[in-house]
Amino acid sequence: MDVTRIRARVSELLAEYRIPSAAIGVLSDGEITDFAVGVKNIATREPATTDTIYQCGSVSKTWTALAFMQLVDEGKVALDEPVRTYLPDFRVADPDVSAKVTPRHLLNHTNGIEENYGDPGEDDDVYERMVENIAGACQVHPLGHTHGYSAALGYAILARIMEVIDGKRWDDIMKDRLFDPLGLTSTSSRREHADQNRAATGYLIRSLEEGPILSPLGHLPRSFGPGGNVNTTARELLTMAYVFLNEGKAPNGTRIVSPGIIREMTESRVPVPDPYMFGPEWALGLIVCDWHGQTVYAHDGSAVSQSARLRILPESNIAVSMLANAGPRDSFYRKVFNEILADLGAVTIPDLPEPDPTLALDLSRYEGSYERPGTRYEVAAERGKLHLKFTLNPMEAQLLNKPEQLDYELLPISETHFLMPSDDPLEDPQTVAIYDFKNGAAQYLHTNCRVNPRVNEEDAKMHVMAVSTISDTDGFWDSLKKAYGQLPKGAKWTLAVASTDGTKAVNVVIHDSIDGVRSFFEDHAGAFATTEYFEADAANAVGLPTK
């Protein structure tokens, strides 16, 4: 690999995308080559180096899966035994799921349990509390019915199983089972344990003109630990990837897992409804990609303002890692990795498919609302074309400097798949699956690996206005930020505004009843405000009530 040329090309791309830095590693035939470009901190202009530590976001799931599979290797856990075998008090809203969900369902994201775990805090019992908090969590989809990515909950349950079996906290388990045996000195599972003198600072990029701005959120909550909080370097991420290319052995000769476990992790797969954006199948802690007929294993990660990519190519005996302190941008990763892979004579990343203009679809089959807690998509036909509309919550829109209502045209690739281009120069095209037809209507929308079931519009919903007199402004709005992603199934938050002096707030929530909104609202914000609740006119749910 021509490192000098690749480094120069990465430097050009960083400037084009306004990303402050990237650290890149290439494992080829057992040898690692790594380099870094850019600055790890814009304020200090300190350059990124191969020792710079980045947050690898959801690539943490591959680390956790590998450690969990050690327990399987040792006969302490069985993939298809119910979770209750190891956590006897495990319970969700559906009794059948409570009794039947298995570690395999959690590893491959087919469990369907809502990410409704409340605020479990930042203490050592965080994963125990998450398991306790989901006793009332409903199903996004039936157990095993489809793939739907779990950002935090699924792998937190796996972490709790590990804690019960090993008798220690997940962070210690990861160090004892993986980090130390692999000989890693820069990898940790908590931000407090990462060397802050070597840690990259994360940035948001809201426009190319503005460039990177310091992220107001420096890290994910501890609840994301097993699914998102591993910190590492590009080289040490490849040390883990080495295990998958060498039948379970580390570069130092230590056996991490048996060859059979590597086969189980890579060959136990479920289909992904949207096969184009990431890959057509999901294995145990790994995405399975098809690059021009070659199987490639992968995982991506995003930790608010840092991003990670890992690709493992068994047929070429190559792995590539990239960590950056902004992002993620799909086109940036494709350009960088394709430069490297082409230089090595390896297969490159396929482009997204082109839309098929000859398809004549019955657009009414796709129209409707699709949602999961905190997220709602509206699919509607307008002048013979299908559109997807997505409402950001007001705080997220302000943070990203975007309009609250986003509108995308969906261009058909097939009867169930669509290309979703964007007019925003900071957004790369994505793909969407709308599928599983029942009574002539699609039941699920799958994008960015997340699944969103169709909303039964026949369910009666009420617009409820909550008018609050605020006693603690910071506490009130912080509590609402947390509450936004924990709305009950079918509920929708349509408005959140404050008076100019910050003493009053009006929120409008669509839910089953005033009592339902009152209970939800008081649980989250009751300590910070006195609130009155009114039924609002659905057509004009923003006017203050008269008394």
Q: What are the residue numbers of the active site? A: 58
Q: How far apart are CA 303 and CA 125, in angstroms?
A: 22
Tell me the C-alpha distance between 228 and 60, whole Å.
5
For 385-398, letters b (16+ CB in 10 Å) and e give ebbbeebbbeeeee
Q: Report helix angle 473-484 to 514-525, nearest 10.
A: 120
Q: Is the peptide bond before 103 cis (omega within 30 degrees of 0)?
A: no
* Lookup result for tokens 């990861």: 174
Q: Which two tokens stand for residue 144?
A: 């095993």
Of the candidates 426, 213, 193, 410, the residue with the CA atom closest to the CA atom of residue 304: 213
Q: Bridge partners of 203?
A: 214
Q: Which two tokens stand for residue 460?
A: 């009666």
Rama region for 490: left / alpha / beta (φ>0; ψ in -120 to 50; rest): left
3-state secondary structure of 86: coil
Task: Report CA torsion sign: 104, 444, 375, 289.
Answer: positive
CB count in 10 Å sphere of residue 89: 9
Amino acid at residue number 457: E
* Rounded Cα distance, 340 and 9, in Å: 10
Q: Which two tokens stand for residue 262?
A: 């590597």
Calpha distance 68→285 (Å, rounded): 10
Please, is 439 exposed, middle or buried when counting C-beta atoms within 10 Å of its C-beta (0-12, 13-18, 19+)?
exposed
What does the alpha-carbon distance between residue 522 and residue 520 come to, in Å, rounded to a whole number?
Answer: 6
Virtual torsion, Cα 269, 275, 276, 281, nearest 10 deg:
0
HEC letters along 139-170: ECCCCCCCCCCCCCHHHHHHHHHHHHHHCCCH
Work out the number of other CB atoms within 10 angstroms of the CB of residue 120: 21
Contact criterion met (CB below 8 Å) for 263 and 86: no
The answer to whether 186 touches 198, Cβ cutoff 8 Å, is: yes
Distance, in Å, from the CA atom of 32 to the CA atom of 508, rounded to the nearest integer, reads 54
- Give the pair of three-digit tokens for residue 214: 């310091």
